[in-house]
């Protein structure tokens, strides 16, 4: 699918910049922008050209709003149309979907995200998804990195949770606002991805890499370079839309890879997935084992956010890698296993051949899930 990515605030901008660095020439990335109130933060982005970076508002110095989400909302309402126009040079009308990437615990980026989502939905006939980074429970790092001040502005403290970091309350309110305005919300639970003794600041580069990997694996799976093998089951924008839904539900992305040996040139290939005059040969049992392994790891491994009991109303499976390794029977068995694992009535699926690849991978996205514990904890801060 052709995806237009908008990074809002420091956290969103860094991930958008990293996506541009890794995939700017890939067909799935239709456009990338970074919007922030802080010109210095925009200036640190390496891959995005200057015309793709845009400063909005009059706030200065990082978040610039002291964690005041209400001020951020006013800022977003005032500048949403302006931000929409700032994307015009990348022809957003050609995008099949938009993805807003934002740290949910701040004020400027998180505050502007709902208004921008509403503006994009008004202008274009394409779904708007949000990839939101959740704040860690006890960190007090910079707001644009997904955290915020630990004390609230006057009058905004929640009586039921007077000592909760302000970032958590901002995140809860922003999640609710994005759910009302986006087709789906894909939370990324920073806390779950931290290693023992690791701080968010120390882990930021690694976690940004994980976020980029998951976004690319999902939205890039249906696009193949010119001249590459044509997938047997083509994944398109409508498949993703059916899988994640359109009512602002929370969705989780699982991903796993396993290194494999590239089959030799000119040998015989007998798995029956892709025809070729000089097909390659791969041991069937090895291909079956690799596919079963990555599907199970993608489903049961660490997702962008934990899926309660692994259950979901809708599930999408994508299996990719060198064509000789994409065994049809193993993929079909994996779909049946995943249906039992998730309780989904139907499993949407696609394949992603990578002729020069050196790994088999699986992407599992689940939507219509029960509320994750971390999201429930955040929402309790504003109850």
- 73-113: pLDDT as tens digits: 999 999 999 999 999 999 999 999 999 999 999 999 999 99
Q: To the nearest 10°, the Cα dihedral for 212, 218, 219, 220?
A: 80
Mean pLDDT confidence for 367-380: 95
Q: What is the pLDDT of residues 190-210, one digit of tens each?
A: 999 999 999 999 999 999 999
pLDDT at 17 over 90: yes
pLDDT in tens, 165-187: 899 999 999 999 999 999 999 99
Least Cα distance to 7 among 77, 91, 106, 123 occurs for: 106
* DSSP state string for 178-224: HHHHSSEEEEEEHHHHPPTT--HHHHHHHHHHHHHHHHHHHHTTT--
Count other C-beta atoms under 10 Å from residue 43's C-beta.
Answer: 11
Q: How far is residue 287's CA from residue 331's CA, in Å, rounded to a whole number?
A: 10
Record the tokens describing residue 71, joined without a space.
Answer: 């001020």
Please give the mean pLDDT across all residues of the chain.
Answer: 86
Q: State whether residue 34 is helix, strand or coil.
A: strand
Vertex 118 angle, CA 50 and 111, to 5°: 65
Query: Residue 161: what pLDDT?
Result: 38
**Per-residue pLDDT reduced to its tens digit, 38-49:** 889 999 999 999
Instruction: Give every CB contact of residue 74 below 8 A, 6+ residues apart in sequence.
Output: 111
Give CA torsion, residues 173, 311, 184, 140, to 10 deg: 40
Rounded CA gap, 48 and 66, in Å? 27
Q: 286: which DSSP letter?
A: H
Q: How many residues does the chain have?
A: 383
Share of the chain above pLDDT 70, in %: 83
**Percent of the chain scored above 90 by pLDDT?**
71
355 or 203, higher pLDDT = 203
- Give the confidence band of 156 by pLDDT, cuts at 50, 70, 90: very low
Among 253, 260, 242, which Cα is nearest to 299's? Answer: 253
Specify the pLDDT at position 164: 52
For residue 321, what are the CA distances in angstroms to 292, 318, 353? 13, 10, 5
**How far apart (Å, rounded) are the C-alpha atoms in residues 81 and 123?**
10
pLDDT of residue 277: 44
Residue 224 confidence (pLDDT): 56
Residue 369: exposure state from Cβ atoms within 10 A (0-12, 13-18, ≥19): buried
Burial 303-338 (b: 16+ CB within 10 A, else e): bbbbbeebebbbbbbbbbbbbbbbbbebbeebbebb
Question: Is residue 291 a contact partner of residue 319, using CB atoms and an 8 Å limit?
Answer: yes
pLDDT tens per residue, range 287-338: 999 999 999 999 999 999 999 999 999 999 999 999 999 999 999 999 999 9
- Mean pLDDT, rounded, for 141-152: 40
Q: Measuring CA to CA, which residue among 129, 46, 32 is closest to residue 87?
A: 32
Alpha carbon distance 334, 340 (integer Å): 10
Q: What SS3 state is found at 133?
A: strand
**Does residue 380 carry a pLDDT above 70?**
yes
User: C-alpha 339: how far from its chain's center?
Assistant: 23
């Amino acid at each position: 699918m052709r995806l237009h990515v908008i990074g809002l605030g420091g956290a969103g901008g860094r991930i958008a910049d990293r996506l541009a660095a890794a995939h700017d020439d890939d067909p799935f990335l239709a456009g990338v922008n970074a919007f922030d109130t802080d010109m210095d933060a925009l200036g640190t982005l390496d891959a995005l050209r200057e015309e793709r970076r845009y400063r909005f508002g009059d706030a200065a110095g990082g978040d610039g709003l002291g964690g005041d989400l209400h001020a951020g909302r006013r800022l977003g309402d005032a500048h949403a149309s302006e931000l929409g126009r700032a994307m015009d040079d990348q022809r957003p009308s050609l995008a099949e979907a938009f993805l807003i990437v934002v740290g949910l615990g701040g004020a400027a980026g998180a505050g502007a995200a709902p208004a921008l989502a509403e503006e994009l939905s008004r202008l274009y006939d394409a779904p708007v998804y949000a990839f939101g980074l959740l704040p860690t429970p006890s960190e007090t790092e910079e707001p644009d990195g997904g955290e915020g001040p630990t004390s609230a502005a006057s009058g905004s403290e929640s009586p039921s949770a007077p000592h909760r970091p302000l970032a958590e309350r901002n995140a809860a309110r922003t999640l609710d606002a994005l759910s009302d305005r986006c087709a789906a919300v894909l939370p990324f639970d920073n806390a779950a991805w931290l290693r023992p003794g690791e701080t968010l600041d120390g882990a930021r580069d690694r976690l940004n890499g994980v976020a980029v990997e998951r976004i690319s694996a999902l939205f890039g799976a249906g696009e193949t370079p010119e001249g590459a093998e044509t997938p047997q089951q083509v994944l398109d924008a409508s498949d993703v839309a059916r899988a994640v839904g359109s009512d602002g539900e929370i969705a989780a992305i699982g991903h796993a890879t396993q290194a494999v040996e590239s089959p030799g040139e000119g040998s015989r290939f007998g798995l029956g997935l892709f025809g070729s005059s000089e097909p390659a040969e791969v041991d069937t049992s090895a291909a079956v084992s690799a596919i079963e392994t990555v599907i199970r790891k993608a489903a049961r491994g660490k997702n962008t956010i934990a899926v309660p009991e692994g259950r979901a109303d809708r599930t999408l499976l994508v299996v990719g890698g060198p064509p000789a390794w994409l065994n049809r029977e193993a993929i079909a068995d994996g779909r049946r296993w995943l249906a039992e694992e998730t309780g989904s009535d139907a499993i949407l699926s696609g394949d992603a051949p990578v002729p020069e690849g050196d790994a088999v991978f699986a992407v599992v996205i689940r939507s219509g899930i029960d509320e994750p514990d971390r999201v429930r904890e955040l929402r309790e801060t504003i109850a």
